[in-house]
Amino acid sequence: MKTYEQKGDNSLLIINHKTLKKVLVNNVVLLKGDVNYTTFHLLHGKERMVARSIKFFEKFLETHGFLRVHRSFMVNPNYIQQYNQEKESLTMKNGQEAHISRRRKHTLGSLVA
């Protein structure tokens, strides 16, 4: 499986400006969106919910190697454990599952091939 180089090992992402909640970009495994809310699934099973859509974070995280694989999911390719071709989903190293839309399958490139 290909390992993606991320820019800035210690880059911080401020997920809430009012409470100044911050996370290290390298600790983010998966983002799961639900309308205008985004849940950050972090290493060691922690979760953070924010009242913003995934699109708000998408441009910043794409520069750090993240892939948008579904309308509701954005993944860190360094934490992909397995690709299930029958379900068309990715299993992450923390046990979370992210579905892949057929139109965004091309973003995975060599990971799916």
Q: What is the pTM of this model?
A: 0.81
Q: Which fold has domain 12-111?
A: OB fold (Dihydrolipoamide Acetyltransferase, E2P) (2.40.50)
**pLDDT in the model for residue 23:** 85
Region of residue 99 (phi > 0: left; psi between -120 and 50: alpha; otherwise: beta): beta
**pLDDT for 17-66, tens place per residue?**
677 778 888 899 999 999 999 999 999 889 989 899 999 999 989 999 99
CB-based burial of residue 66 (10 Å sphere; 0-12 exposed, 13-18 middle, 19+ buried)?
Answer: buried
Residue 36 CA: distances (Å) to CA of 20, 32, 55, 56 = 19, 11, 9, 10
| pLDDT band of 68, cuts 50, 70, 90 | very high
Boundaries of every domain in the chain: 12-111
